[in-house]
Structure 1
Amino acid sequence: MRKYDVKKPPSFTKWLYGGLICAISLIGITLWLSFLQSVDERNERSALHARMIQSTITRTFEALEITLISLSDDLRAGNLSPEHINDMHNRALKTLKFAPQLRQITVVKGSNTIIDTHNDANDNINLNILGLNDSYPNPFSLGLMIGTPLKGRFLPKEGYFPEEGSIRSLIPIGFETRAADGDKLLIIATFNPSYFKRYINDLNLEKADSVYLTDFNGNVVLQKGLYGPNRPRVISNIKAALAENADVGNADSSLSPIQFSTISTELLSKYPLAVSVVTDHKHSLILWLKQKNGLIFILFIAIAALSFGTFFLVRTSKSALKMKDEVHLLSQVVEHSPTIIAITDPDGAIEYVNASFENITGYSRDEVIGQNPRVLKSGDTPDNEYEAMWEILVDGGTWTGEFHNKHKDGTLYWEYASISPLINEDGAITHFIALKRPITDEKAAQEKLRLASDVFSSAAEAIMVTDRNSRIQMVNPSFEQITGYQQSEVLGRTPAILKSGKHSEHFYKTVFEELEAKCFWEGEIWNRRKNGELYPQWVVISSRFDPQGDLEGYVALFSDITKRKHNEAVIIHQANYDALTGLPNRNLFEDRLNQAIAFSERSQTKAALLYLDLDRFKYVNDTFGHYTGDLLLQQVAERLQACVRKSDTVARLGGDEFAIIVPELEKLSTIDNIADKALHALSLPYQLDGHEAYISCSIGIAIYPDNGAISEKLVINADNAMYKAKEAGRNTRDYFNEDMNEDSRKRSLLEQNMYKALERGEFYLVYQPIWSTDGQNIESVEALIRWLHPERGTISPLEFIPLAEESALIHSLGEWIIQESCRFVKQLRTCFGEAPVEIPKVSINISSAQFLRGNVADILNRELAALSLNGTDILVEITESALMMDQKRIYSQLDNIVSQGIDIAIDDFGTGYSSLSYLKKYPVKRLKIDKSFIDDLVTDKDDQALVSGIISLANSLSLKTIVEGVETQEQLDILRQYGSPMIQGYLLAKPMTDDLLLDLLKSRLAQV
């Protein structure tokens, strides 16, 4: 050890006593640093506890806030009717079941209680003593108000006050909202503060320590320990934290006899509350004495020995050599002390370091002697902290704190240091002595402890820790939430309290055998909550071992998979069953059909497939709306199920298509019986939400294996048989035969050719004149499409138009008809624009499918603008069904069309759902009476009455009337008796090409 130039003591005795005092001082400093370290450790634990309590309270209030917001949303969604209030009361009761920290939920409107989970809703609660009006909600908390703690278990009724003698207490929590009509509502939840007290007690704080939950004014909400003596310091600490806009505040750490304690304060970030933990360091001294009693005893013996030795030396006047040996011994103690000791001169240059310094820093003594300690700086500590330390030291004070330093090899480490000045008799600082110890491992352990605590507390999965005998040692909050058991209720017990009774003892034996073999098990277990409810959970169990490798216990992580299993069931049901009718969908139908085929193949029996398509369902859907159509489909499903055997399957394949699978078919009469029952049942009237509807169905039947050996073939053949039944007049059934395959093939080929026909220009238009009743004037001409097939010749629109409407081709085809018709109008204008005659309008038929797409008006606008035509040059013919589809969209398009000057005509009037309201609502100008009323007009009095009535109705509504299908003079003579309708039919002119029509118009012009 280096010798220092110090003033020689005036006498040998003073030198000895000085050495003794230094030794005792050094020991005293060491003990004091040890005590300060103990104090700091307690302060750190208190700060950690404050953060843990603050985090738990914040999460609890956040969960409570979400619960109250959910109740608020449900209140706002209703009209506070008795039914709504009753539903909300039941919702509040359910909320209490899953929120053990709540005892009561109340909803107040004005001063009247409308919902109360504990009292009769007619009994109002005493709002004046709750303290909610004094609460100032934080803007981040969406309005949560925390009231004044009260005695009692539930909120006092109006006119009553808290039960001051009660050992229970409550905290009223309020949340303001508004009803759907705008009235102000107040939701009040009664919070059980013992929920926090149990949590605080479980933290294993020292008995002398106190915990307080207060508002920002220091008013206590919850406390552990006496609050009065600490209240001024708690309030001061909270105000300091608020002034600094900090989350944490620390009161003064004075160690005077009056205030031998410290305070750690945490502010809740979302709520006007603070958590303060008061650490009583009188108890720290006792703890430290207990922990260091061995060391203190040894040091006491050492001090006594040194004192006795010094006294003995003084008394006996032993030689200076013996004293030198004792000093050398002391220097050896310092040299080999596990504590780092470094001595610097007043300017900070290092003069001495012990062996521990070399071991911990990596620097040898020769490398640092004469250097400044900043050689160890890592750069992580701000310069202002070093400046503050230096100010304390030069003022003669002692500085304690932590350094983040750098090892010689570049690695970083933490150390705790105490630096004090050495002052001579003249009061001058001669040296600085630094006592330091590494704390890197301690800080790492503290950080791991904090992270482990956070993960354990915030994990969404339940965590249960047991000893090797399966006795529960610890559970997290998610365990309490899932099982309903509090930690205090399960500690020391086995997981058997959760058993559902659904698993055998062999099951549990298998689990433990796998745990023993693999130290791991994962699987699904059904358990029982505290309230008796059974639920499934997914469990992962792992064995845990002590450092020696011996089994110490088990850790189980599990989650409630009730919702997941429910969702899986829902998904499976949705994947296999129709959502509207509850019948098997196409997916399950295919599976059932394959099963029936497989069974028939094994048992050498037959099976049948009935393919059903509803007749006139589209009419019901368009007339009464989709909701009514859905009701009809549901009733169809019920009727079909009543027509089959238990072994049969009824499925909905989509839209208005159904199928029946009949397995184990022994005789064909069974099929006839089921089909006839279905035809009869579906033809009965349907009562649909105030409407009465009539439909029928067409049924195609295919037999396995006669009509197909695989399911796909069987479905195709049954479908072909169904189309044959429709062609036969509907409301009938038909069996598949090979001729149907040919019809289907032709139908498919026609559809393929139709797509190519538009590209090849095989479609063309013909025009049929519409005459005045006297047959003298052509008022308009109707554009009619024709198809000239290169092999089959001319194909009737009755054959290909239905196919086009079933596919997307109707849109392309309809647009082409509009373009060609407008082109012909332009041709008429060019030929007869200067002639002194009225040029006939061109009438264009537009499919309802085109209107549903919504672009008819745009196409007409475009073509009229491109050819410089007026809307008055054309007419648009629509069917009655188009008016009953998407009324808003149809009306908007028709209104746009009429605004261009185009007249609207209803084609085939009287054959559909003829309604006077449609004639009034839509901008219709013309009615076309269908040919079916004209065919028997001469002989059928009913047809005469209908036609006369329609013409009279049209006249009264100022609508023009067109009668189509007039083929005889007798029909025309009768029609002239009913007024002056316009005439269209073979009697006056057949449909003709554009050039023939032009010749006809020219010849008519020549006669003028």
Structure 2
Amino acid sequence: MSLIKRGPGPRHRHERMTVSADTTAQEGGFEPEGPGREALDVLYRFVAALELAPTVAVHSIDRNGIVRYWNHTCADVFGISAAEAVGKPLTSLASHLDREADFLSTLDTVWRTGRSAPPRDWHIRRLDGAERWLYSTHFPVLRDGVPQQLFCMEVDISKRKVDEAELLAAGANFRQLFQRSTDAIVLIEGNRIMDANPAALALFRCAGKQDIAGKTLLDFSPEVQATGETSTVADAAVTARAFIDGNYRYEWEFALADGTHFWAEVLLTSVTLDHEFLSYAVLRDISPRKAAEHALAMAARVFENSRDAILIIDRQYRVIAVNQAFTALTGIEAGDVMGEQVPGLHSGTHEPLFYQQIWDVVAVHDHWEGEVCCVRRDGEERPVWVAVTAIRDSAEQVSNYMAIMTDITERKRAEEQTRHLAEHDFLTDLPNRVLFLDRLHQALVSARRQHSKVAVMFLDLDRFKGINDSFGHHVGDAVLKEVATRLTGCVRGVDTVSRQGGDEFVVILADIGGVDQAAHVASSVMHAVAQPVRSNGHTISLSVSIGIALCPDDGLDVDTLLRHADVAMYHAKQNGRNAFSFFNADMNAHVIERVQIENELRHALSNHEFFLEYQPEINIASGRTTGVEALLRWRHPQRGLLMPHQFIAVAEECGLMVPIGEWVLCQACSKARAWRDEGSPVVVAVNLSGAQFLHGGLVHSVDEALRQSGLAPAFLDLEITESVIMRGDEAGMATVAALRARGVQLTIDDFGTGYSSLSFLRRYPLTKLKIDRSFVDEIAEPAPRADGAASASLIPAIIAVARSLQLRVTAEGVETAEQLQFLARHGCDDYQGYYASMASADPDLKPRA
């Protein structure tokens, strides 16, 4: 262990100390704040009671009889200072004249029994030849029931002995002394009080002798008063002891009629007065001393049994006492440090002047406390809270210093755990947003100082919601943990990977060279994430979209960089996902425009800005119009006519697609009913977005649209994209079954762009499928597709699949006669597109019967 030594001096060879860097100086001193401050104050008061007791000499010895503690009063009584006494055998410091063997026997009894010895007088001779009478009490200090030290509290009664001798020698003058004595004296015949002097009447608070005469001393005992038992036997025993020994000294607690108690020292002496054999008792009120002894005994027990290590240091900075907790904490035995100067400094963590400041604070404020690194003898380091306090005597002079050391290892560990939980994501253990923002702030400060660059990467797993929905959240959690591990492996130790929530991660690349280095890291991340993840028997393929912003190029502050990285990530997703993108001004303008469109979309329905156009579906064989597809248009008050690709994606992302889709459904059904009433019964096709299909109220919305319009279900065709139908969950299958049960037709839209299988499609009661226009566009092109397959061979294959499922086939995007002839030659049922629309001059597209 190490404390701090003021000024030069020898250093202890075992231990060293450092003061925690978070200890701060305030107003010229250190602000004391630490664990259990009230407990430290209690310890301080007890230890100060031991050290500064003005009338009681307190010392302690170990089992070998070696002095371990020696207070200031001991130095006055024995004529030996603490520095000279500590570490030496007690028997070498004074002799007990002809009772040395009796004294040693008394100590041995206390050690063996673990019980205090009755107080008694001892006649000693000091080393300087002076003789003293001491009234001594010996008691053990126990820990776990085993005596650890033997404390002795002694009062110098040399003057009192002289007074007693003079009283015995007074003889004929006894009566005069009896009346004038300031000590309480009572005359006893047999065992009852026959007379009492004025001092005795005052002590027992008696108005006259009649209030005490005839009673025994034990009648004033609280035990006798409580039980009502007679005191004759006990009184007789005490009186007999006085006549046998000539005098007998004991201490007794007395209780008065008014309920107050006091302790008295009783000297019972046998005398012959006027030829009568009597005894007299001299009583001295020792209540203050007993209270002091009780406090000192309590202090000794607290000192030895305290879980905090305690050192008492003299004015020369020498250790004069340590408790057992000190050895447990530091690994240093008491004998190795007693009498030595406080161990010096060896760590070198701070300059010596820093440690000198601590003593300067104690000199001014009488106190310092702070966190210290305690290095045990075996080399283990432990954080310790140390409180150093100056102990002053009655003259306000520093007599000692006390250091109380509290092991805060567990508290520090708990604080660290709490801090970790507060700053890290519970699932991946990556830094959370709180710690991330702090580190990004520090990285930007460092970059400004060193004129370097910092990159912020926003990462979002592509289609992660589908993993949770398809395999369950436990698999999703396992995927997130694996991704966190992979991301950490792609960056340096100085970088930070943080999970912001859900499937969003953010990476800080500190002190990078520039765009090329950021691009390299992004490529590494994409490659790492793309490796299949195996969890719970499933093999899952992943991809990630990444947005990158650099400081100072794309922003100088935290908020700007994060916003721009998010914009870049959104741009990467808009461009097909599984890519990374750097921020630029055009992206920002695009995002701003998207936000504006979102805000304007929220008012478009209520402002009646939407309308529908209808594109005919024509039977190839007959040329007759068999149905129409309702197409949504937005007549924007400032932007003009907007097509679906300009706002549908925004509507889906901001949650507006369901109410917009319900409006389209109602309008289309009403129009189809009107055509039917005019004699043109055609089927109206309405596109359903993924949000509508997954919405629990789709079936109810269809029922309402059909009810309000009066349209028969057979004249409503709902078009669902291949990607939506291929989810294959129970809710989706139930929705399809409910719609077909009502007679509504169901079509797979954009067939060929997804990953459907024949066996999967057979599970759904579909009506027809539509060939995506991308296949139709390539009919006249001789070059093969990128995957090596020619469109001319794919379209017949798609038609063959539809025939095997007993579905009608409609081709989208037909614009030329050549395309129509190809489709007719391979058995396609219907077509739609620009070529079909030219056949109708009616702006409402009133179909031909």
Kept after mapping to 2: 8 A contact 1:353/1:365: no
Deviations 1:42-77 (A, max 9, x none): xxxxxxxxxxxxxxxxxxxxxxxxxxxxxxxxxxxx
Who is 1:789 aligned against? 636
Equivalent position amino acid for 1:618 in 2: D
Is the counterpart of residue 207 in structure 1 residue 108 in structure 2? yes
Is the counterpart of residue 803 in structure 1 residue 650 in structure 2? yes
Who is 1:556 aligned against? 403
Kept after mapping to 1: 8 A contact 2:665/2:705: no
Is the counterpart of residue 390 in structure 1 residue 228 in structure 2? yes
Is the counterpart of residue 527 in structure 1 residue 396 in structure 2? no
| Counterparts of 1:637 and 1:729, CA distance in 2 | 25
Is the counterpart of residue 844 in structure 1 residue 683 in structure 2? no
- Classify 1:394/1:962 alpha carbon distance in 2 versus 1 (closer, same or farther; 3 Å): farther
Q: Which residues of 2 match residues 328-347 of structure 1 at below 5 A? A: 329-330=177-178, 336-338=182-184
> Which range moved further: 587-596 or 363-372?
363-372
Kept after mapping to 2: 8 A contact 1:780/1:840: yes
| Counterparts of 2:626 and 2:257, CA distance in 1 | 105
Who is 1:931 aligned against? 772
- Classify 1:752/1:517 alpha carbon distance in 2 versus 1 (closer, same or farther; 3 Å): same
- Classify 1:352/1:502 alpha carbon distance in 2 versus 1 (closer, same or farther; 3 Å): same
- Classify 1:517/1:451 alpha carbon distance in 2 versus 1 (closer, same or farther; 3 Å): same
Q: Which residues of 2 match residues 123-138 of structure 1 at below 5 A? A: none
| Counterparts of 1:692 and 1:751, CA distance in 2 | 34
| Counterparts of 2:302 and 2:722, CA distance in 1 | 69
- Classify 1:942/1:687 alpha carbon distance in 2 versus 1 (closer, same or farther; 3 Å): same
Gaps (5+ residues) in structure 1? 1-203, 213-223, 226-262, 269-273, 278-282, 310-321, 374-380, 420-432, 601-606, 665-669, 885-889
Who is 2:79 aligned against? none
Q: Which residues of 2 match residues 814-853 of structure 1 at below 5 A? A: 814-815=658-659, 817-818=661-662, 821=665, 844-847=688-691
Who is 2:270 aligned against? none
Who is 1:194 aligned against? none
- By relative contact order (CA 8 Å, sep 6+), the higher-ranking structure is 2
Is the counterpart of residue 414 in structure 1 residue 261 in structure 2? yes
Q: Classify the secondary structure of the residue corresponding to 2:596.
A: helix
Q: How far is the alpha carbon of 1:800 from its aligned partner?
A: 2.5
Who is 2:90 aligned against? none
Who is 2:315 aligned against? 468
| Counterparts of 1:805 and 1:688, CA distance in 2 | 29
Kept after mapping to 1: 8 A contact 2:184/2:197: no
Q: How far is the alpha carbon of 1:568 from its aligned partner?
A: 6.8
Q: How far is the alpha carbon of 1:208 from its aligned partner?
A: 1.1
Q: Classify the secondary structure of the residue corresponding to 2:402.
A: strand
Is the counterpart of residue 544 in structure 1 residue 391 in structure 2? yes
Q: Classify the secondary structure of the residue corresponding to 2:814.
A: coil
Kept after mapping to 1: 8 A contact 2:526/2:544: yes
Identity of aligned residues (%): 22
- Classify 1:936/1:789 alpha carbon distance in 2 versus 1 (closer, same or farther; 3 Å): closer
Q: Classify the secondary structure of the residue corresponding to 1:753.
A: helix
Q: Classify the secondary structure of the residue corresponding to 1:788.
A: strand
Q: How far is the alpha carbon of 1:911 from its aligned partner?
A: 4.0
Q: Classify the secondary structure of the residue corresponding to 1:857.
A: coil
| Counterparts of 1:923 and 1:397, CA distance in 2 | 111
Gaps (5+ residues) in structure 2? 1-104, 116-138, 216-220, 239-250, 267-279, 468-474
| Counterparts of 1:859 and 1:485, CA distance in 2 | 79
Kept after mapping to 2: 8 A contact 1:500/1:526: no
In the comparison of the two structures, how many residue pairs are matched? 652
Q: Classify the secondary structure of the residue corresponding to 1:540.
A: strand
| Counterparts of 1:459 and 1:827, CA distance in 2 | 91
Q: How far is the alpha carbon of 1:544 from its aligned partner?
A: 1.8
- Classify 1:401/1:326 alpha carbon distance in 2 versus 1 (closer, same or farther; 3 Å): closer
Q: How far is the alpha carbon of 1:211 from its aligned partner?
A: 6.8
Deviations 1:92-144 (A, max 9, x none): xxxxxxxxxxxxxxxxxxxxxxxxxxxxxxxxxxxxxxxxxxxxxxxxxxxxx
Q: Which residues of 2 match residues 747-758 of structure 1 at below 5 A? A: 747-757=594-604
1:857 is aligned, of 688, 696, 700, to: 696
Q: Which residues of 2 match residues 56-67 of structure 1 at below 5 A? A: none
Kept after mapping to 2: 8 A contact 1:962/1:984: no
TM-score by length of 1: 0.47
Q: How far is the alpha carbon of 1:532 from its aligned partner?
A: 0.7
Q: How far is the alpha carbon of 1:440 from its aligned partner?
A: 5.6
Kept after mapping to 1: 8 A contact 2:636/2:642: yes
TM-score by length of 2: 0.54
Who is 1:618 aligned against? 462
- Classify 1:774/1:553 alpha carbon distance in 2 versus 1 (closer, same or farther; 3 Å): farther
| Counterparts of 1:518 and 1:473, CA distance in 2 | 23
Q: How far is the alpha carbon of 1:465 from its aligned partner?
A: 2.8
| Counterparts of 1:371 and 1:984, CA distance in 2 | 133
- Which one has the bigger helix percentage? 1
- Classify 1:756/1:871 alpha carbon distance in 2 versus 1 (closer, same or farther; 3 Å): same
Is the counterpart of residue 967 in structure 1 residue 814 in structure 2? yes
Q: Which residues of 2 match residues 470-549 of structure 1 at below 5 A? A: 470-475=317-322, 479-485=326-332, 490-496=337-343, 499-500=346-347, 502-503=349-350, 505-549=352-396
Is the counterpart of residue 687 in structure 1 residue 531 in structure 2? yes
Kept after mapping to 2: 8 A contact 1:763/1:785: yes
Who is 1:46 aligned against? none
Equivalent position amino acid for 1:845 in 2: S
Q: Which residues of 2 match residues 268-417 of structure 1 at below 5 A? A: 326-327=174-175, 329-330=177-178, 336-338=182-184, 355-356=198-199, 365=207, 388-392=226-230, 413-416=260-263
- Classify 1:748/1:952 alpha carbon distance in 2 versus 1 (closer, same or farther; 3 Å): same
- Classify 1:208/1:638 alpha carbon distance in 2 versus 1 (closer, same or farther; 3 Å): closer
Q: How far is the alpha carbon of 1:618 from its aligned partner?
A: 0.9
- Classify 1:576/1:599 alpha carbon distance in 2 versus 1 (closer, same or farther; 3 Å): farther
Q: How far is the alpha carbon of 1:789 from its aligned partner?
A: 1.8
Who is 2:123 aligned against? none
